[in-house]
Each structure stands twice: as structure tokens, then as C-alpha cells.
Structure 1
Amino acid sequence: MAKGKRDSEQAKLSMLSPFELKDELIKAAGGGAVERAANLAMLNAGRGNPNFLATIPRHGFWQLGLFAMREAERSFAYMPEGVGGFPKREGLAERFELFVREHKDVPGVAFLAGCVSYVRDQLGLSGTDFLYEMCEGILASNYPVPDRMLKISEVIVGQYLRREMIGKHPFVGEFDIFAVEGGTAAMTYIFNTMRENHLITAGDTIALGMPIFTPYIEIPSLNDYQLNVVNLNADVSKGWQYTNKELDKLRDPKVKAFFLVNPSNPPSVKISDESLEYIADIIKERPDLILLTDDVYGTFADDFVSLFALAPRNTILVYSYSKYFGATGWRLGTIATHRDNVLDKLLSDLPKATKAELHKRYESITTDPDNLKFIDRLVADSRTVALNHTAGLSTPQQVQMVLFSLFALMDTPDAYKNALKRVIRRRKQALYEEIGISFKDDDPDQVDYYTILDVEFLGERAYGRKFVDWLLANTEPTELLFRLASEARVVLLPGMGFGTPHPSGRVSLANLNESDYRKIGRAVRKLIEEYVERYNEATGSKLDKSKVI
């Protein structure tokens, strides 16, 4: 292919979302556009989907389903046509204890018995009510009631979020939860309801903590929203932390909302305690600022504390169960807001004409639409208001969410969490050793679900600025990724698609085995050495291509 045409094609590809470019890289690696990581000849480290999952709460789910079927078959038992009915509350706990005794050696049954005990003894809830909600939920025989989230399920998930997102940090008050179809649905619903309720309007300014999950970059520019964006850029030289100078951009009263992913995607670094405190101090000056923190990777961090813990009145918390429990296919996510929050205050302060417009929007679902909380507007808007009565995450999904939550709550020594941390950190070490990057594991803010191979930062550190300038002048950012794909069958995602300042590759440390990361490391090293050779030939230099980065 002629150089001009090749450059034109590379320029077009650089405009694609990294998740769309991934399909082109997979094709270059010899796979189909929708091929999964099962193609062992191709090492697709571009996927964030983990190759590990939590087994115990899944065993519990299937055994709970069998118990619930026994309960359903007790009704209409006289009919031979396979007709069942709703579970009966009376005697439910006793029948469950009998089920446990009959199946005590079956995987998942002891876990279920532990769940009932924990809910009853530690949370002080009715074991019978819990069992009934779980049985009815897993049978999916009724609409989600309440539509925002099942009652006992919300309490249990709330306890899980308190443990993982707030921890030991002081927290006053309660919060509401909306169970949604994964973190992606949470993003969609929040943007939409903020627009519908005039909390953000076309031409408004929001801030993004960069780098960030690509949809947060792409959604604001859509015709639906037409928002101006101020980027707060994390500094790669400071371990991907935000400087106070960057955070000070939030002091501008034009900034209506600040969206961030913490720990970050793709650098996989949690915001430092100092920066969290700094943001909380800014909120004291800007009590009207809306914060959204997407904390899906928080459970992989050491001693994680969410921004939601420090500034609960201003913060919308988004959390997904997808990565930690290996449950991307379940589509399990939550939105949480403090019961005393700035969103509801901003709604109450809207102009009279706007409030009248919103009164009409929601008057079919409540007798007091003016005081409908933001989180309940999310529920209604998720079903275009008119279908509010059928809103809510499917009840089997909520049941699995509850079992995941109880699994973590009952794991007091954090055995599962520590096992996952060991797995991904060993993978990172294997990758770095083969590339030739000196491995340091002493940053308490590193989470390591992903790692970023920053061409400019690492290249300058190893070979100097002249080499980096030559490399950037003689290659397109995506060229390196396509060469890895076509020559080594290694697929990485472009970091710049997530807002990284330099050309880079995002490596997921969650979806391949340790030996695979060694292969990826060797492929990256070979590519680096080839470019060093080309640089030496072009410039007459004598850089040592075997140098440890």
C-alpha cells in the first residue's frame, strides 16, 4: 500500500473508539471481529472482561433456584400439567432448614444457609422475609416491587457498598440505591435524567477526570447533550495522580458536574487520599457542584475509600459487579445517592416554568411530582415515565447481586479479594519482566486491573527524548498496535482513546493467564528493539536496544 494511502487509513482508524478499533486489531491478528479470547493463537489483552469469576455465590444461586422450584411446586400440586404457584411464607424457614439438611454436602447449600444466618443475625432482618424475597425473585414470578430495588435486597446491597466504598471512613446518614443493568446502564440513565431535568443543558460545561472510560468522553459531544468539556488531566510522571492545579479547575462556577472513574481506567490508579480531601474542600466552596464517581475497580484496591464517602451530598455513586465477580454477562450495577443530596436541592431551585414542565412530565406516576427525588426520576426515565410501573432490574439479576454481596460481606478475612489481587499482580510482574521494565510494587494507589504502556514516557526514560521525537515523527499512534496485532497476534487497546496524553497501549491484566502476559511482554520487547535499530540506522546513533526500561 502506498504511504499516502496508508497514512490516510491510519488517520481514519485513529478516529475510532478504542472498542471499535479493537475489532480491526482482532482482524489484523487473524481473528473474526467478534472472536473471543478462546482463540488461543491470539492474545487479546484488549478486553476488560476477566477470566476469573466467583464460584461460591453462583453455586448458591443454582441451589436457591432448586429450592424455590420446590416451593413453587407445592402450589397447584394437583395439576399434572406443570403448573406451579408463588412460594408460601408460612413454614418457609423450616422447609429451607430441611432442604439444607437434605443437601448439606452439595456445593452452594452451606453458603445459602450462611446467607440466611447473616441476614438474620448480623443485619437483624427476618429470615423468612429474606427467603421469600429471594425465592420469588429467582422464580421471576412477579414484577420488581419496589421498582427501584427489592426492599431487603436494597438493604443488603447497601451494606456491601458501605463496606467496599466507604469502609472505616465516617459517614452520616442513609443512601438510596437503584439496581440497574450494569454500569453502562447507570451512565446512560444518569446523563439522560440530568438532561431531562435541566440539571445539564446544551452548552453547559462539565469536567472529566482524564484518562477515563471512553463513553464518558464520547457521550457529552452527542447531539443529545452538546456539552462543553473541561479535562482534568492526571500526570503520568506523578503516578497518574491529579495535581491541585488540575483539580482547581473545579472551582470555576461554569463547571456544573465532574465525572470520574476511580480507580482510573486505564491507568488503574486510585485517587490519592490527599486529592480526595482536596476535592472535598472544593465542594465546601462549590456546594452546588455535582460529582459522579464510577468505582467499578474499587474492590481491587487496597483500603479503598470512594469520593462518595467524603462528599456524599454531592456525589452520585456508580458501582458495577461485573469485574470483581466475573459477572459482565449478568449486567449488574447500582446507582446510589445520599438521601440528603444536592441533586434534589437543585431540582427544588429550578425556575417556576421549568418546574411546571417537569410537574407535567411526572404527574402520571405520583401525586407529588414536584418532590419526586432525583433517583426516582432515574427509575421513571429509564422506562420513558409512562412505563414506570414495569421499571426495575429483573428479579433474578437482583438475587444474584444480593448473593454476590453476601459472599463478600461474609468473607471477613477478604480471602477472595486477596486471591484476585495476587493473580493480577503476578500477571503484571510477568509482563513487565519480559518487556524489560523494572518492576516496582510499592505504590499503594496502584490497583493493576489494567496497566498502561506509555510510548512517550517509557521511551524517553529508556532511550532519551531524541528517540521519542523520532518515533512519534515516523509512526502513527495506531501503527504500533497494528504491528503487534499482525506480527505477534497481540491485541491491546489504544490508550489515547481513553484520554491518555501520549500514544500508549492499554493492557488488561484480568483476562489472560500469566504465561500469556510473558508472551505479550516478549512481543512488545521485540517491537521496541526493532524501532531502536531503525533509529540507530536512520540517525547514526548507538542506542543499546537491550537496555532495561
Structure 2
Amino acid sequence: MTANGKNFASLSPFELKDELIKLASSGKSNRAMLNAGRGNPNFLATTPRRAFFRLGLFAAAESELSYSYMTPGIGGLAGIEGIEGRFERFVTEHKDQEGVRFLGKTLSYVRDQLGLNATAFLHEMVDGILGCNYPVPGRMLRVSEQIVGHYLSREMTQSTVPPSQMDLFAVEGGTAAMAYIFNSLQSNGLLKAGDKVAIGMPVFTPYIEIPQLEQFSLEIVPMNADPKAGWQYPDSELDKLKDPAVKVFFCINPSNPPSVCLDERSHARISALVKNERPDLMIITDDVYGTFADEFKSVFQTCPANTLLVYSYSKYFGATGWRLGAIAMHKENIFDAALARAPEEQRQRLHRRYESVTVDVSALKFIDRMVADSRAVALNHTAGLSLPQQVQMTLFSLFALMDEHDAYKGALKKLIRRRDTALHGALGVTVKEDKHSVNYYTLLDVEDLARELYGDAFAEWAVQQSSTGELLFRVAEETGIVLLPGRGFGASRPSARASLANLNEYEYVAIGQALRKWADELYVAYGKQHPSRKS
């Protein structure tokens, strides 16, 4: 292995990260390795977790009621009759416990604010947390789907797309959602080898790699955000969607790694384009970071009929290990319409594919086809996200819905913004104010930083000295800091991605100081080569 990283050019940034960690962990024994390369947050929501664990104790007691005459340790399926009364007694007896108090409030909120059947909700939660049944329906539990629908409606669409107009599929995180979506688009003939997919750049690296896999063989049309315009897409880039050969527009909103939301101009441009020129355009939007934004607006709100919305609970609730996510579709959508218009030969092929699932394949929605495809169709009867996972997802959703003053959201936004300020302050550069930025990541542009520190001539020279990959290996070896290459995410300029979610504030100060030291040393070298230019 070479320290300049050239042997690892083909690796994904997330695989390259492991090599950088090895290098950063070696060397000076008194140096701490600081990994700012991965977006796993070091914060998490505890109240809905406390509720989950307390609910499990209540559910176990409910189960034991069914077989109370037998040897201790054996339970049965929880009964629904009288369960609400028994639960209220449980809440009263344990009201000194935060998780139980929260559970008691959820029952009231579900009944009085969402207008749902409290008994059905409680029984679904008890049965679900015990994990004693297959998921039914396989797509998502009925009451849970309505609750998560309310959460996504509020957070992703500012309540403009009501949950009654959504279908949801509970999945194993956003990454599983993407795998299911691309697989089903291809299986149903909505995407074919050689089709073009427009991808907003920079982007989460696997989304560049998936279309290029042999099984999909799609042609990528990069849509490059402009760093000089706050990482928004210029009209000229958005207009690439006018090409009828572009079948899918895929974006992360807010973006990764720039962490910037689409502005109103972009939403208006996309909306007008879809309405007037590309009503057939399929859109996939990954909105995992939307809950960190102020008054977030998803493309699903702008173009609901055209959009597959992917949301993950991983980042906002600190739940990467839970693997919780959802795919949302509008009940009236172009995906189902395209299937209905499919040529007879394709419809016959799809009939053969799904005839074991339903007698009326033509009426099978695209979202339900994704459910079947997720289990190779033949195992559709055992499809679905595990029920304990769905319970935790529902409790996370209720926690956010019931937080009327957004105290949790406000605290997290303040936390990551302080870290951003600490990093840039230690570097000695200003933090640009941008109402569209969520600051979950920061993209450290080599040219911009060099220019702000020491001027245009130095910036031009610094960019030419080495590739970003070589720089990251050098930084890891000399400072113990792990950053990821911006080019690996499709960034057009030399840059490094740092997560602002997974380290403490003083550690971001250390990162900033170390990078500033590297820049100062580089400037000394520049001065020796160009003594007449150094001020």
C-alpha cells in the first residue's frame, strides 16, 4: 500500500475509509484518531427507546395472561379484550418512569389527535413488540402505517400531502429502499438496460455505483450542483431532465455531502418541467436529512404523483443499527399508470411473475410489487419489516409528532451548527450563512479554503500539488484525521467530506487546527518556490 492512496482509486469512499482509519490509527502513540468520515451520529433519541423497552415488559405480561395456568415462562398471543384498561393501570402504577409516561401520552394522542382506534393501536404495538406473528399486511402494519404517514406528511410535505393519500412500505433502512426500488423498476420494465438516469451531484457514492451494476446497466447523466451558488442546481443542469431518454431523476435532498436543501427556484423549475414537458419523469428522492432543515420541502410535495420518497430514521433518531426506513408513494401515481399502459407482451410477462401473489395482477400496485420482489415474489407471504422494528419506527414517529415545540429538533440543529462553527473557526475561515444548509456534513473545498486563507495565486498552486486522495492519506498519516474524498461523491472539484454528526465539539476544533497547520506548512512551501508572490 502507498500513502498517496493511488492503489485505492477504484474503492468506494466508504471502503477507502477503512484504509484511512488504519493509517490514522498508526504513527504517534499519543495521538487520537479522529474519524470524521462516516455519518453515523453520536446522538440519539432516548425517550422513544425507553418507551420501547417498557412496552416490552407490558407486552410480556399480556402474553403470560393467556397461559397463566401453565408453567411460568410460557405465554400466548395477547388478547385484545380489556387491553386498554390493563394498559392504563400499568401506566398509573409506573408513572414515575419516563418511558411509561410517554406511552400513556401516545394512547391519548393516537385517539384524540389522530382520530385512530386506541385499542387497535395498543394491540398492534403489543403484538408487534412480541414479534410473535408474521407482518400482516406485509407492506406495513395498518395503524403504524397511518401514524408514520402523519409523521412523513408533516416533516416531508409540510402536511400538504395527507397520509390518506399515501401508501407506505416499511423497509430495512434507506439503503434497502433503494435496492428494492431499482430492482422493481427493472423487473416491471419501467427501467431497461441503456436507459438514462439523471443523478444530482455530488451524491452519496453508492447511488453512483448502483446504476452502473451489470444487472441494471444504466447510463448516468450527472446534474452538477454549483458550489458558487450555494450548491444549488443551475437551470441548465435541471434542464437535462427535458431529455425524454432520461427516465429517472434521482436526488438526495438535503444533499450529501453539501447538506443543502433544494431552493424554491429549483422546486418551481422541476414542477414546471414535469407539468409541461415531462409528465412521465420518474423521480426518486432520498430525504433522510430533511428533518434537520427549517421548513423542509420534499420533491414529493412538489411532484407527488411522479415521486418515490425514501426516508430513513437512521440519522435523526440516531438509529443506524435499527435499520428503519420507509418508501412513500402517492396513491395516484405515474408508476401504476405506466404499468396499466404497458404493452400486452409485457403485461403477460408480469402476469406470470406475480400470478402466485394475486389473481388480478393488473390491479397490483407498484408498491405492492416492491413488497413481493423484496422476497423473490414466491416468498411474498413472509415479506415485511420485522414487527419490533415497526413498533420502534412508530414510537419514533409519535415522539416527533407529539413534540409540539420541536425541542428535540431544535437541540440537534443547534448541536451540529455549533460543531460546524468550531471546525471552521479553528481553520480560520468564515462559515457562510445559508438558510438552505442543514450542516449534517460539510464539504471542505481545497481551492476555496486556500483562497480564503492565502489568496488566489496560492489557491491555484495548492490545487495542482496533489490529488485529493493523496492529500487525505497524508492528512490521515500525519494528523490522525479521517476525511472522505469529495470526488468520490461526484464533486467536480478537489474537496473532502467531514461529518458534523459523529464527533464532539472539541474534536472538530482539533480537526480544524490540524488542517490549518497543514495549510500553513503548504503555504511555507509555496513561498519558497514563489518568493516574489508570497505576501
TM bracket (short chain): over 0.9
Counting only pairs closer than 5 Å after superposition, residues 373-522 of structure 1 correspond to structure 2 as 373-440=365-432, 442-522=433-513
Match of 2:226 among 221, 229, 235: 235
* 1:196 aligned onto 2:191: no
| Cα deviation code 1:66-111 (max 9, x no counterpart) | 0001100101111115210011111100000110111010120110
Counting only pairs closer than 5 Å after superposition, residues 11-410 of structure 1 correspond to structure 2 as 11-30=6-25, 41-80=32-71, 82-169=73-160, 174-284=165-275, 285-410=277-402
1:547 corresponds to:
none
1:465 shift after superposition? 4.2
Q: Is the 8 A contact 2:150 2:163 kept in 1?
A: no
1:310 shift after superposition? 1.0
Cα gap change, 1:40 to 1:353, in 2 (>3 Å): farther
Name stretches of at least 5 consecutive residues in structure 2 with no aligned partner.
none
The CA distance in 2 between the partners of 1:271 and 1:186, in whole Å, is 22
1:540 shift after superposition? 2.3
Query: Percent of pairs identical after alignment?
Result: 59
Cα gap change, 1:14 to 1:468, in 2 (>3 Å): farther
1:218 shift after superposition? 0.5
Q: Is the 8 A contact 2:153 2:160 kept in 1?
A: no
Match of 1:230, SS state, is: strand
* 1:10 aligned onto 2:1: no
The CA distance in 2 between the partners of 1:172 and 1:126, in whole Å, is 16
1:168 shift after superposition? 4.9
Match of 1:293, SS state, is: strand
Q: Is the 8 A contact 1:173 1:338 kept in 2?
A: no
Q: Is the 8 A contact 1:10 1:476 kept in 2?
A: no
State the AA in 2 paired with 1:287.
Answer: P
Cα gap change, 1:92 to 1:370, in 2 (>3 Å): same
The CA distance in 2 between the partners of 1:92 and 1:274, in whole Å, is 52
1:217 shift after superposition? 0.3
The CA distance in 2 between the partners of 1:123 and 1:168, in whole Å, is 13
State the AA in 2 paired with 1:223.
Answer: E
The CA distance in 1 between the partners of 2:416 and 2:453, in whole Å, is 25
| Cα deviation code 1:166-203 (max 9, x no counterpart) | 11547696010000000000010001000111111111
Q: Is the 8 A contact 1:259 1:291 kept in 2?
A: yes
State the AA in 1 paired with 2:335.
Answer: L
1:532 shift after superposition? 1.0
1:445 shift after superposition? 0.2
The CA distance in 1 between the partners of 2:464 and 2:411, in whole Å, is 43
The TM-score, its normalising length taken from structure 2, stands at 0.97
Cα gap change, 1:272 to 1:199, in 2 (>3 Å): same
The CA distance in 2 between the partners of 1:280 and 1:541, in whole Å, is 53
State the AA in 2 paired with 1:337.
Answer: M
State the AA in 2 paired with 1:247.
Answer: L
The CA distance in 2 between the partners of 1:524 and 1:543, in whole Å, is 20
State the AA in 2 paired with 1:423.
Answer: L
| Cα deviation code 1:10-37 (max 9, x no counterpart) | 33323211001100100011269xxxxx
1:541 shift after superposition? 4.1
| Cα deviation code 1:446-491 (max 9, x no counterpart) | 1000001011233234434433333233212212111221111111
Cα gap change, 1:368 to 1:102, in 2 (>3 Å): same
The CA distance in 2 between the partners of 1:180 and 1:150, in whole Å, is 12
The CA distance in 2 between the partners of 1:345 and 1:457, in whole Å, is 47
Q: Is the 8 A contact 1:211 1:234 kept in 2?
A: yes
The CA distance in 2 between the partners of 1:414 and 1:205, in whole Å, is 40
Cα gap change, 1:515 to 1:419, in 2 (>3 Å): same
The CA distance in 2 between the partners of 1:15 and 1:527, in whole Å, is 26
The CA distance in 1 between the partners of 2:377 and 2:468, in whole Å, is 45
Match of 1:108, SS state, is: helix
State the AA in 2 paired with 1:17.
Answer: S
State the AA in 1 paired with 2:167.
Answer: D
State the AA in 1 paired with 2:15.
Answer: E
1:35 corresponds to:
none
The CA distance in 1 between the partners of 2:61 and 2:131, in whole Å, is 15
The CA distance in 2 between the partners of 1:6 and 1:120, in whole Å, is 62
Name stretches of at least 5 consecutive residues in structure 1 with no aligned partner.
33-38, 545-549
1:291 shift after superposition? 0.4
Q: Count residues with an aligned counterpart.
A: 532
